Each structure stands twice: as C-alpha cells, then as structure tokens.
C-alpha cells in the first residue's frame, strides 16, 4: 500500500510537466496589474477536472479555490499573478509576446506553484479532513493599494487559521528556502515633494527663486533624518527615484517635483518619517524663498510572520530534506510585499524561495524587476514540495 508521502511523490511527478507548461504559457502572455483575467482563465483550465470549488470577483481577475467542506478552519495558500510593465530581454523561447509587459518578479512561478499544489492535493486527498483554500491574487505590483485587499474584501480569509505565501528570491540558491519570526519585509510608502519658486533668466538668478537648487538642498537635508534623528538600530531607507523640473537650460526652474519611497519596519518610525519629511522639506524650501508641499501616501505595511508558525516550521525543517534546505533568514528585506495586508488579518508565514543556480554568482545574476530576470525553472518543483509539505504535515 502506498503511503501519503509515496502518493504525493508520484502525483507531483505527474503534475510537474503540466505546471511547467502552465508557467510558460503565463510567461508568454503576461497580464499587468488589474488585467489578470486571461491568467485566471488559464488556471481554471488547468484545474478543470479537479474537485475544487471556485469563486471569482466580478471583474474576474481574482480567484479563490476551495478543497473540502465548508465546516471548520482551513489552511490557505496564496500566489500573485500580475506582471510588470517592462519589455523582456531574456531571449527565452517562451518570452513575452506583449512588448509592454513581462514577468520579471516571478509571479508566473508563484501562480503555477499554487495551481500545481491545488491539483496535486486534490488528487491525493479530494476530501481532506482539514479544508484547504488557494488564493490567486491580482495586482501585487499595484502599490500602494495592492490586490490582497480585493481578496480580503471578498471574504477569502474567513475561517482561515493559517496562511502561507512565497516569493522567488535570487539572493538564495536553488534548493534553499528561508523565513524568520516576526518582520520579514518592510512597509513601503510613497512620497511626492513639490517645490515652487519663481522663474527668471539664468543670467539673472537674483530676480527669481531657483526651485531646482532648493530641491537639491531638500533631498540632502531629509537624509539627515536617517543619520541624526533615528536610532541607528532602526532600519530605514529613504530614496528619491525621480526628479522633474525646469523648461530650458538657461532658465531658472520655477517648479520641481521629486518622487520617492520610504521603507520602515517600526510603526513609530513610520509615523516619525511621515511627519518629519514634510516639516523639514518645507522648512528648507522656505529658507530659500520657495514654497513646498509634500504628499505622503502610505502603502504596504511591514510583513510580520507569525512566531508560532515560523517556530513550528523551523523545528520541522529536517523533514524537508533532501529536497530543500530550510534556513532561518538572517535579516529582513527592505522590499515590500502586499501579502502583509493579509498577514495582519490571520496568522501567516511567508517564505523566500531560492531560484539562482548555485554556480551563478549573485553579482552576475539579474535581480527581481530586471528585464533579464530568468530564474532556474527547477524552482517550480521546489515550490510545489514546500506547499505540499505545509498542507500535508
């Protein structure tokens, strides 16, 4: 008689080629945030002969699949589906056919791993004693709102006692999976600083108020908040990624706009940065005769792993071997993830799944959000093993 482990291994081997084909189809035809209906259709076709029941949003770009009865608490697994607005430069035979979009963050893998897990488990235990739920989420890249709120609003977390998610992680080698207790990924906020001066001929700067020079001082001054006003042991990142202003090389800029992001973990530090960025920016600009306004938009909160789930997983890590090496993440990442909204609602555990071939140095491997990002496709099998392990243990 086959054991559950034997049956899982046999079923995984049968489903794996189908999951790979699904991932490649999604990669070839990516959907941007809010447009994931064709990806949902591919998932439904992949799972059409399974005993799962389905719910979709009215727009059809979010999907919840249930395995088992409605009674009792259930385990849930989440995968995000959206691509990024990038033109792919990988040269893959199944590269994106849409020049405006590419799966440069691994969400095609996340979707295929989740769909493959649902298919494997529905064949192994079509009527599990503990019901399971699979959440196919849109718009993870659509910061600051994110798509996890769509699932929350449709009741996807009702009766969920534990929620699991993962993200491909090029900092880790293929076969490694990492997590940790408490904070794993940062809160991400967006800010826009607008500085208004008075234009004049560049040869007569004293007749105007140079918004461009004022913006340079503001950008420099706010960095002092990190180095002189925040505890050095509190992780904070403040980055301006875009600046726009001026009309001509020989005309004083009358207006400048700067856009950036602030990343934190502590709610108190987050409040401090929102308050002080605005106050300091306006003070510096005013001191140079300019006017200043700051729009600070809160995005994803910090992703907090449930300590009990993390400790339980890390205690059981040896049972994952030899297929996966489970490690305790040394430190959190300043990257944000909208899984955090759901983790604030139910006990949750999020993983980083290594996707870089061991022989490739990290320095030469394209990062997340790169137009040349090509994870090792064998990571799909690793993700299936991880999720199936969490469901069956």
DSSP letter (8 states) at residue 302: P
- What is the token pair recorded at 83? 């691509």
CA distances from 321 to 315, 317, 318, 358 (A): 13, 7, 6, 17
CB 242 within 8 A of CB 191: no
167 annotated as ligand-binding: yes
Alpha-carbon gap, residue 165 to 77, rounded angstroms:
6
Hey, what are 149's tokens? Answer: 């709120």
How far apart (Å, rounded) are the C-alpha atoms in residues 230 and 227? Answer: 7
Torsion-angle region of 72 (φ positive above 0: left; ψ -120 to 50: alpha; else: beta): left
Instruction: Confirm whether residue 323 is marked as ligand binding.
Output: no
Residue 51: CB atoms within 10 Å: 13
| Other Cβ atoms closer than 10 A to 366 | 17
Consecutive H or E run containing 267: helix 267-287
Q: Is 107 annotated as a binding residue?
A: yes
Work out whether strand 63-67 and strand 291-298 pair parallel, antiparallel, or are unpaired.
Answer: unpaired
For tokens 């996966």, the residue is 324
Question: What are the tokens at 28?
Answer: 């070839």
Nearest to 382 by CA among 169, 171, 183, 181: 169
Q: d(Cα 328, Cα 334) in Å, to the nearest integer?
A: 17
Enter the tokens of residue 23. Answer: 């991932």
Q: How many residues does the chain have?
A: 393
- Distance CA(285)–CA(222), nearest Å, equals 12
Q: Are the beta carbons of 19 and 113 closer than 8 angstroms?
A: yes
CB-facing half-sphere around the CA of 221: CA atoms within 13 A: 18
Rounded Cα distance, 80 and 78, in Å: 7
- Binding-site annotation: residue ranges: 105, 107, 141, 167, 369
- Binding-site annotation: residue ranges for Mn(2+): 105, 107, 141, 167, 369
């Amino acid at each position: 008689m086959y054991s559950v482990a034997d049956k899982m291994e046999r079923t995984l081997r049968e489903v794996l080629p189908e999951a790979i084909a699904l991932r490649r189809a999604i990669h070839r035809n990516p959907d941007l945030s809010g447009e994931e209906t064709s990806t949902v259709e591919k998932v439904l076709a992949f799972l059409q002969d399974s005993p799962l029941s389905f719910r979709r949003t009215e727009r059809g770009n979010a999907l919840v699949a249930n395995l088992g009865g409605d009674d009792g608490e259930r385990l849930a697994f989440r995968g995000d589906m959206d691509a990024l607005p990038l033109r792919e430069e990988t040269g893959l035979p199944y590269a994106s056919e849409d020049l405006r979009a590419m799966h440069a963050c691994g969400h095609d893998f996340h979707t295929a791993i989740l769909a493959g897990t649902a298919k494997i488990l529905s064949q192994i235990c079509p009527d599990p004693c503990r019901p399971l739920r699979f959440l196919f989420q849109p718009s993870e890249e659509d910061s600051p709102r994110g798509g996890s709120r769509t699932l929350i609003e449709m009741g996807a977390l009702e009766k969920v006692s534990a929620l699991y998610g993962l993200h491909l992680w090029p900092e880790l080698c293929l076969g490694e999976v990492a997590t940790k207790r408490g904070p794993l990924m940062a809160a991400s906020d967006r800010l826009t600083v607008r500085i208004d001066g008075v234009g004049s001929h560049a040869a007569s700067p004293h007749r105007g108020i140079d918004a461009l020079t004022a913006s340079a001082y503001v950008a420099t001054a706010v960095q002092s908040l990190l180095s002189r006003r925040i505890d050095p042991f509190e992780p904070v990142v403040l980055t301006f990624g875009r600046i726009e202003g001026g009309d001509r090389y020989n005309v004083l800029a009358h207006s400048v706009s700067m856009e950036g992001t602030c990343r934190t973990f502590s709610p108190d530090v987050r409040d401090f940065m929102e308050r002080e960025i605005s106050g300091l920016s306006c003070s510096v600009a005013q001191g140079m005769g300019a006017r200043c306004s700051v729009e600070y938009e809160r995005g994803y909160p910090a992703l907090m792993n449930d300590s009990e789930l993390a400790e339980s997983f890390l205690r059981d890590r040896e049972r994952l071997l030899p297929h996966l090496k489970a490690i305790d993440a040394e430190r959190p990442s300043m990257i944000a993830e909208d899984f955090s909204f759901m983790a604030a609602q139910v006990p949750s555990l999020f993983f980083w799944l290594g996707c870089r071939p061991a022989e490739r140095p990290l320095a030469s491997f394209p990062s997340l959000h790169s137009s040349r990002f090509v994870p090792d496709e064998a990571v799909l099998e690793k993700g299936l093993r991880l999720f199936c392990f969490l469901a069956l243990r």
